[in-house]
Chain A
Amino acid sequence: MSFRKAAGGRIDRNKPISFSFDGKTYQGYAGDTLASALLANGVHLVGRSFKYHRPRGILTAGIDEPNALVGVGKDDAHYTPNLRAPVIELYDGLKAESQNRWPSLGFDIGAVNDLLLSRFIPAGFYYKTFMWPKSFWTKVYEPKIRAAAGLGRAPETPDAARYTQVYQTTDILVVGAGPAGLSAALSASRSGKRVMLVDEQAEMGGSLLHNLTEVIEGKSASEWVADALTELKANPKVTLLPRATAFGYYPHNFIGINERLTDHLANPPANLPRERQWQVRAGEVVIAIGSLERPLVFPDNDRPGVMMAEAARAYVNRWGVLPGRRAVIATAHDSAYRVALDLKAAGIQIATIADLRGDVSGELVSAAEAAGIRVQRGAVITGTRGRKRITQAHVARIQPNGTAAAPEAIACDLLLMCGGWTPSVHLFSQSRGKLTFDEALQAYVPGQSVEKERSAGACRGLFDLGAILEDGWKAGADAAAAVGGVVAPFRVIDVKGSVKESGGYLGALPHGRNVNTVKAFVDFQNDSTAKDIKLAVREGMRSIEHVKRYTTTGMATDQGKTSNMNALGIVADTLKTPVPAVGLTTFRPPYSPITFGAFAGLARGDLFDPLRKTPSHDWATRAGAAFEPVGQWMRAWYFARPGEDMHAAVNREVKAVRSSVGMFDASTLGKIEVVGPDAAAFMNLLYTNAWTKLGVGKCRYGVMLREDGFVMDDGVVGRLAEDRFHVTTTTGGAPRVLHHMEDYRQTEFPHLDVWLTSTTEQWAVVAVQGPKARDVVRKLVGDFDLSKEAFPPMSVAETAIACVPGRLFSVSFTGEIGYELNVPADYGAALWEAVFEAGREFGITPYGTETMHVARAEKGYIIVGQETDGTATPDDVGLGWAVGKTKPDFVGKRALARPAMSAPDRKQMVGLFTEDPKVVIEEGAQIVLDPNQPVPMKMVGHVTSSYWSPTVGRSIAIAMLRGGRARIGETVYIPMPEGTIAAKVVEPAFYDKEGERLNG
């Protein structure tokens, strides 16, 4: 660590740490970041740039870093690409690698883009070059561009880390724990209200952590921070969250915060989440996120060794690192003089300060000159030398006409720049607050608030430490007042050694060189230059939003933290308009990149979505059933015996239902209990059928329409009492139907005394279907009379089933004699086993959803959502009979009266018999009348259900066909890739059309 100071800094010199970068091992100390440790080892070259593959170094000391992006992780399962070296905390064994270079960081083939090809990569290059042929986009251009560009490498193995999310409510949220935020938290914490203070860094204190000169209330800055944190920690109503980035400001003071818990640990405990995403609802928010230093835009301002001035001060003071031995400082702002003084005190030679401003003076300037530092007023950097590390800066005088004179080459290994300070208005802007342009500051600052928030300190344009601390204090007290807390009296915070600083510059600097050959970078991460932006303006872009997209300036993962304002300055200068007239791009969350894991949280694997199991699930699993997901349910699909495939299993199951008896778990059917004196009146309004005359103990097949007259759901409804209906719905439709009914109940029919309760989960349902069904069920219902006279099809009774109180339905979805046995759900598994035992003598066959589908299709029973697609009327699917023509009203009645709803050429449900009985058509296939017509053919319908029918002994299909009922007997065609299938249009019922088997 030859560039480490002998003493000083906030690192722990008793805790040396070993880490590797690009396979080489280095030493650092606890408290280091990857960037500070690399600099301490004299490593500046850490990456290659995005487009030109130029050697790049560490530019900043924070999250705004555009250059030093690295991949970190011991293996693929723990790997994260594109991390910013200045915010990676060092731990023992940390393994980092540079990106965007091949074969190595030192020698990179892609650099040819910079040296030879760059003139062919102008702004808007992608838009201009890859225009045609169109097919080349997906096959050639996009894959090539992606491979060539992409910075970091995406890991390919599953992420080994855990991530959690937690909601939290607080009265006051303070974002940022620099001077303003700490001060705000102190005053807010005296309110008696709940306060959260979040900061993205490991250590709270912000700029105070590298401020060695100013004295706050008689204490050093670091002592003041320590005392403030001690006070805050002692307050049980205060939550301090370091390593937590407030990345998004969402409506109603909902703030997304990403806390990193283990990335700084060498051996993180396995049970700790790597990241915790806090979703915080705050009564009031204090935004105290400071400001970011702006680079200066001059030719070759991107070489390793070129750094932000304040970043160098932070490396020296906070981490005890010398980022160089001989520095040139280029500035347009007073703060760089403070940097020069601190660096000089640390032993770094300051070759010169080149200040853009011609008439600069003041306390700091005098102090620098008094310290023997050469100050060049009205001076500009026109270029640099040194490929992998800067060796020279070219400093020129700015002539009266604004151009640069011949430069003087000054040897250096460090070039620091300060173009002034940009208030961080990201969160304020995300909160939809209106920004205003401060002419004096030449910066956007928060204007009118929309949310309950206030900005404090540098993020609203204050740059004097005393003022910042007092502003923070006031913001915290104001927030306390707003949430009804105790308001801390105003506190005068005395700061010694504070000097008012000013200055700043927006845009590109004059350099007097050939504009076609030099690159003065504006956006370091996306490699866009001043020339690119000027070109975009020349080519007609006026809005900054257009310039941004055309040049990609500000569109990298740093969201233009260091580049946006300079880009604005260049556009304004080129257009000769004031900056505010150019506009400002929109700030969108996240403020800094967030892992996908943090957004997934616990919703991975089994917790991705609830998986609902039926009462027979375990039995079916043991029986070797295959399952299919139906919504969140897992349903038994078919019960294959050893050696059977699905086809064989379904054939056997269907035959069993037709010849003997089968059993099926129907528990997933939606169930709604409609209860109240007006239950029948309500049912009349919600279903097309008439319910008033349905007797107690009877069932009816009900059809429900939406307001637009199209079929929404169907199901059997049993009347248990005058005022009580047991309604069943489709499995997938259950929640939707309940909401639909509840909506009408509350908004359209509030006068009706009726209430709805979901009972889907109350009842386990076993369907017993087949000629022997009655024999099986008889064994389970004691003395209950199951004869067809006493309990005919479509009956319901509340009776004991296997000695538990149940609801017995005689209903069939197979066309055979059928019963549905409902028992309280805790008895479902036992009932399933009891039915199986009772049916054993009849060879009862458990069947799954596939057999249920085939059996109902043989009968021509529809499935809502399969035959219907939200555009089918009851008549379209052969349910015209279920519409109560004489009823005064029901939901959808008015829509059904429209002429289009009964047009003869509507798609109507029909059956199809393929010419070749062995051919099973693909569901969804389109139907045409003339297979020889030119493409695109006129499609007249589509196949909705198609199966091999073991009962009929051939394939069957159901289709929705234009004017279908009038086409029965005709032949239609289904063109498929393998050839055209001819099929005869038939009645949509293939078996027992008269329904005689139900009466057996």
Chain B
Amino acid sequence: MVDISSDRRTVLDGLQFTSPADAEVRIEPVAAMSRLALRGRPGIETAVAPVFGFNLPSTACTSATAAEYAALWVGPDEWLVTAPDGRVDVVKAALEEACAGVPHAITDISHRNVGLTISGPKATWVLSHGCPLDFDLAAFPVGMCTRTLLGRTEVVLWRRAEDTFRIEVWRTFADYLIGFLNEARKELAA
């Protein structure tokens, strides 16, 4: 059988990540990882604890992380779960077992999304060119995550630190999105 398993090509290859504005805002690709869309009835929040080591966040737009896992609340019964690359089948199996008593749905979306990190003193300024949310720390604290619009793309935005955000975006929109962010940060060129 032909083997293509070592010929993985991300859509982020060849995109323009460096910019004269890097001192103010950096945009970097996030390495491949496992991603799951986790859905379920009440009870699932605690059912997953043996796998993740934490309960799923039940407050809107909050996240939980521990060790190699992260779970982002993106809807009243929906979480975006990330785990290290290549672990999707293992994690899915463990979750299926742990959640057996609660109606649920787990779907592999590892390749659907790509991740970007946007960081720097002007990160919120650049994000504000495409996202109408208030990025004041009081309104959008560290750890907050939300599904929102950035330019003409839907993204999940997750604040990892005061000036660092993770962007999760569907793969075919990444090209546009990076072009948009590059154009928005152009005015910040050193």
Residue in B39, B110, B113 with the greatest tally of chain A CB atoms within 10 Å: B39
B68 on interface, CB distance cutoff 8 Å: no
**Quick check: B107 and A825 within 8 Å, CB to CB?**
no
Q: Are A165 and B106 in contact (CB under 8 A)?
A: no
Encoded as 1 (CB less than 8 Å from any B CB) or 0, chain A from 362 to 404 comes to 0000000000000000000000000000000000000000000
Q: Is B172 an interface residue (CB 8 A)?
A: yes
Give the nearest-CB partner of B107 in chain A.
A757
CB-based contact B3/A194 at 8 Å: no
Contact with B along A825-849 (1 / 0, CB 8 A): 1111111001001100000000000
B152 & A609 in contact (Cβ 8 Å cutoff): yes
Per-position binary interface string of chain B over residues 39-57, scored 1 when its CB falls under 8 Å from any chain A CB and 0 otherwise: 1110000000000000000
Q: Name the CB-closest residue of B to A835.
A: B2
Contact present for B152 and A610 (CB under 8 Å): yes
Asked if residues B134 and A169 are in contact (CB atoms below 8 Å), the reply is: yes
Segment with Cβ contacts to B, from A126-134, A564-572, A758-766: A758-766
Contacts of A827 in B (CB 8 A): 4-5, 7-9
Interface: B97 (CB within 8 A): no
A545 to B108, CA, bound (A): 60
Question: A607-B179, A610-B153, A780-B1 are contacts. A761–B112 as well, Cβ < 8 Å?
Answer: yes
Do B132 and A826 touch (CB < 8 A)?
A: no
Q: Does B121 reach chain A (CB closer than 8 Å)?
A: no
Interface: B32 (CB within 8 A): yes
Contacts A272-B187, A610-B172, A758-B112: A829 and B2 contacting too (C-beta < 8 A)?
A: no
Q: Given A272-B187, A827-B7, A831-B4, A167–B128 Cβ distance below 8 Å?
A: yes
A762 touches B7 (CB 8 A): no
Contacts of B133 in A (CB 8 A): 167, 169
The 9 closest A-B pairs by CB, nearest first: A675-B105, A753-B103, A610-B176, A169-B134, A755-B39, A830-B7, A612-B172, A755-B105, A830-B4
Residues of B within 8 A of A633 (CB): 172
B180 x A166 contact (CB < 8 A): no
Give bound CA distance, A941 to B10, whole Å: 48
A281 adjacent to chain B (CB < 8 Å): yes
Q: A168-B128, A281-B132, A607-B183 are in contact. Are A804 and B107 (CB under 8 A)?
A: no
| CB <8 Å contact, A837 and B105 | no
Query: Is the pair B171, A271 in contact by a Cβ cutoff of 8 Å?
Result: no
Interface of A is mostly: mixed
| B147 interfacial by beta-carbon distance below 8 Å | no
Count residues on chain B whose CB falls below 8 Å from chain A CBs: 56
Which parts of B117-148 form the interface with A (CB within 8 Å)? 125, 128-134, 136, 139
Do residues B41 and A753 form an inter-chain contact, with CB atoms below 8 A? yes
Q: Which of B140-190 contact A (CB under 8 A)?
A: 151-153, 170-173, 175-177, 179-180, 183-184, 186-187, 189
Q: Which residues of the other chain, B, contact A758 by a CB distance below 8 angstroms?
A: 112
Per-position 1/0 for B78-92, Cβ under 8 A of A: 100000000001000
CA distance A633 to B32 in the complex (A): 24
In the assembled complex, the CB of B8 is this many whole angstroms from the nearest CB of chain A, namely 5
Asked if A612 and B187 make an inter-chain contact with CB atoms under 8 angstroms apart, the answer reads no
**How far is A802 from B109 in the complex, measured between Cα atoms in Å?**
20
Q: A166-B128, A166-B129, A827-B8 are in contact. Are A602 and B183 (CB under 8 A)?
A: yes
Structural contact, A613 and B172, CB atoms closer than 8 A: yes
Interface string of A599-617 (1 = CB under 8 A from B): 0001100110111110000
A782-B2 Cα distance, complex, nearest whole Å: 8
CA distance A168 to B111 in the complex (A): 33
With A and B bound together, what is the CA distance between A164 and B185 in angstroms? Answer: 10
Tell whether, in the assembled complex, residue B5 and residue A757 are in contact, meaning their CB atoms are under 8 Å apart.
no
State the Cβ distance, B189 to closest chain A Cβ, in Å. 5
B105 touches A607 (CB 8 A): no
Any chain B CB within 8 A of the CB of A273? yes
A754 to B41, CA, bound (A): 10
Contact at B105–A834, with CB atoms within 8 Å?
A: no
Residues of B within 8 A of A (CB): 1-5, 7-10, 20, 32, 37, 39-41, 77-78, 89, 103-113, 125, 128-134, 136, 139, 151-153, 170-173, 175-177, 179-180, 183-184, 186-187, 189
Give the complex CA separation of A202 and B104 in angstroms: 59
Is A967 among interface residues, defined by CB-CB distance under 8 A?
A: no
Can you list 16 A-B contacts with CB-CB less than 8 angstroms, sorted by A residue number? A166-B128, A167-B131, A602-B180, A610-B175, A758-B112, A759-B108, A759-B112, A779-B1, A782-B1, A802-B3, A802-B5, A803-B2, A804-B4, A825-B112, A828-B9, A834-B2
Give the shortest distance, in Å, between B163 (CB) and chain A (any CB).
Answer: 16
Q: Is the CB of A834 within 8 A of B4?
A: yes
A820 within 8 A of B: no
For the complex formed, measure the closest distance between the CB of B38 and the CB atoms of chain A, giving whole angstroms. 9
A677 at the interface (CB under 8 A from B): yes
Interface centre among A164, A602, A823, A831 (most CB of B within 10 A): A602
A279 within 8 A of B: yes
Interchain CA distance A803-B5 in the complex, whole Å: 6
Instruction: Point out the residue from B103, B109, B187 that lies within 8 Å of A273, measured CB to CB.
Output: B187
Contact status of A781 and B134, CB under 8 A, knowing A612-B172, A675-B106: no
Residues A826 and B111 in contact, CB atoms below 8 Å apart: yes
Q: Is the CB of B107 within 8 A of A675?
A: yes
CB-CB under 8 A for A838 and B2, given A602-B183, A675-B105, A755-B39: yes
How many angstroms from the CA of A805 to the CA of B90 in the assembled complex? Answer: 14
Residue of A nearest to B89 (CB): A805
Query: Which residues of B sit under 8 angstroms from A825, Cβ to Cβ?
Result: 111-112, 171
The answer for the CA separation of A633 and B173 in the assembled complex, in Å, is 10
Chain A residues whose C-beta falls within 8 Å of the C-beta of B3 in the assembled complex: 802-803
B109 contacts A164, CB within 8 Å?
no
A166 with B1: CB separation less than 8 A: no
Q: How far is the CB of A839 from chain B (nearest CB, A)?
A: 11
- Interface of chain A residues 732 through 764 with chain B (CB within 8 A): 753-755, 757-763
Bound Cα distance from A673 to B104, whole angstroms: 13
CB pair B10 A607 closer than 8 Å: no
**CB proximity of A798 to chain B, nearest CB, Å:** 11
Taking a contact as CB atoms closer than 8 A, the residue among B9, B130, B176 that contacts A830 in the complex is: B9
> Contacts of B128 on A, CB cut-off 8 Å?
166-168
Report B-chain residues with C-beta under 8 Å of the C-beta of A164: 129, 183-184, 187
Which residues of chain B are within 8 angstroms of A271 by Cβ–Cβ distance? 20, 186-187, 189
Contact assessment for B111 and A279 in the assembled complex, using a CB-CB cutoff below 8 Å: no
